[in-house]
Chains A and B, each alone.
Chain A
Amino acid sequence: MLCERCNTRPASVHYTEITNNKKQEIRLCEECAREAGITGIGIMPQFVLQNLLGGLFEGTPVQVEPSYVQCKRCGLTEQDFAQRGLLGCAECYTVFGPAVGRILHRIHGKAEHTGKLPRRTGKIAGLKHELKRLRQELDAAVRQEAFEKAAELRDRIRDLERDCRGGQ
């Protein structure tokens, strides 16, 4: 079996990483393992993951041929990302959207933010999060045949949708 990082030398280091209850096995050659900071048992430095991120990007299954997608704003290419594991600017998250989404999912187990929103610029995002939550509640209410509650939720959703449109 070939090293998952360089794809040239045989893989001799089998590295298992467990994050968030998900086990991921990575097979590397000795050279790449050393570069990635995998040295043996003990405390695993966090940069291992970051160095391997580029590899995740390269290995995304949809790409059959190398593509030359580039961020128009900062000039970052997929190759740049594969090399350093870093995005170049906020716009990159849109340009490389689906691939980044998959990577985030692999790292965090989820790819959707549910935490704090910026006070000033996050108002619309806040409304949308609230909308999503209410729609889930509405589904649950309908399933439980709690129609009175469902009607109330429907009205609140309608109001929020109007606010969202008004705010944009």
Chain B
Amino acid sequence: MALKKILTDPRSRWMEEGGPEADVSVSSRVRLARDLAAYPFPHRLRAEQAEEVLHAVRLALDRPEVTKRLGKMEFMRLTELSPVERHVLVEKHLVSPDLLKGDPAGKAVIIRQDEAISIMVNEEDHLRIQCLLPGLALQECWELAGTVDDALEATVEYAFNEEFGYLSACPTNVGTGLRASVMMHLPGLAATGMIEEVIPGLSKLGLTVRGLYGEGTKAAGSFFQVSNQITLGRQEEEIINNLTALVRRLVSQEREARRRLHQEQRGALEDRVFRSYGVLQYARVLTSEEAMRSLSDLRLGLALKIIKRIPLSLVSELMVLSQPAFLIRLAGKELKPAERDVLRAQLIRERLQGKKPGADGEGNGKKR
């Protein structure tokens, strides 16, 4: 049942209300790259060794003291999921697109019921521990990831070297293995063109800016992921504090850009927001680009209180709901792009009218 909920309910912990700086920071993520000392890294792992890694990780997390502390986790082999279901996990930001590359055998993901913790097994590294929380909450993510890390380390031996720290397949992850990122909504900086200056500025400070779904993806709807580039030679707290401080600066710059936009181009901005809201409420055909663009405008309108009474969490939920694999999973059959556009418009319309999410009403009521 829990597995079905993960695959059919668009809602996740990371999109819940009440995250700090939620008007600009959508969600925070910390991921730790860890490898087991006893095995070659995944790209050089034989099938039976991959199974042993899966087994060791599962044993480590199934211990009662771990489940008591961290809660129940859902263990899914990639081979147990259909290709569409695997893509749903990417769309919910629970696994990386890279996990789906190549042979699915020997790969797995372990997800806590609230989806705040997900652990990819045998991606580029044996373990990718990921914690996702709403708003700007990197410190909390790091603490949670650290707890999972310690729980695993109690029974498995990590590849670790005194000089270089935690060892990983790719040298870009060595040391702390820590990649912290914040998904930011920056329509103000994008509209004023300031984003063109901000992105190179951030890269000078050792940060990377990417699109919504990580490496190599475009920045759709003015959503950007800001993350640290350097993982070695700094302490985890330093990385977290650094990124948090820079994100805070970015948050205030974005707020200032929005304020100016709203002051100087009030009519045009409100028109754009209400038009998009209208499209989302009434359109019968919605492409994913139009949906993303309109949802981005709606989110901006909510943050500026041009539109009220819709929670920000609903925008995040509709962003996931709008994704192709999610729509196909809900429909339960293959859909042509044109059919997806109709279903997307229908689901968004219904949700904005207050209909509860979930395929057959199972998403009703309390979430956890």
A53 to B160, CA, bound (A): 21
CB of B19 within 8 A of chain A? no
Nearest neighbor of A126 in chain B, beta-carbon distance: B162
Point out residues on B near A: beta carbons under 8 Å. 35, 37, 39-41, 43-44, 124, 146, 149-150, 153-154, 157-167, 169-172, 174-176, 178, 199-200, 203-206, 208-211, 215-219, 224, 229-236
Query: Smallest CB–CB gap between A13 and chain B, Å?
Result: 18
**Judging by beta carbons under 8 Å apart, are B153 and A88 in contact?**
no
CA distance A93 to B167 in the complex (A): 8
Query: Is the CB–CB distance between B231 and A108 below 8 Å?
Result: yes
Interface residues on A, range: 35 or more
Quick check: B206 and A20 within 8 Å, CB to CB?
Answer: yes
Question: In the bound complex, how far is the Cα of B37 from the Cα of A19, in angstroms?
Answer: 30
Q: Is A114 in contact with B153, judged by CB distance below 8 angstroms?
A: no
Q: Within 8 Å CB of A122, what residues of B?
A: 160
Contact with B along A86-99 (1 / 0, CB 8 A): 11111001100000
User: Of residues 37 to 78 in A, which have CB atoms within 8 Å of B's CB atoms?
Assistant: 37, 43-47, 49-50, 53, 73-76
Main secondary structure, interface of B, reads: loop
* C-alpha gap A88/B234 in the complex (Å): 24
A146 within 8 A of B: no
Q: Which one, B37, B165, B219, contacts A113 given CB within 8 A?
A: B165
User: A20 vs B172: C-alpha distance in the bound complex, in angstroms?
Assistant: 13
Residues of A within 8 A of B (CB): 18-21, 37, 43-47, 49-50, 53, 73-76, 84-90, 93-94, 100-101, 103-104, 107-122, 124-125, 128-129
Let me know if A120 and B153 touch, CB within 8 A.
Answer: yes
Write out the residue numbers on chain B whose beta carbons fall within 8 Å of the beta carbon of A43.
199, 209-211, 218-219, 224
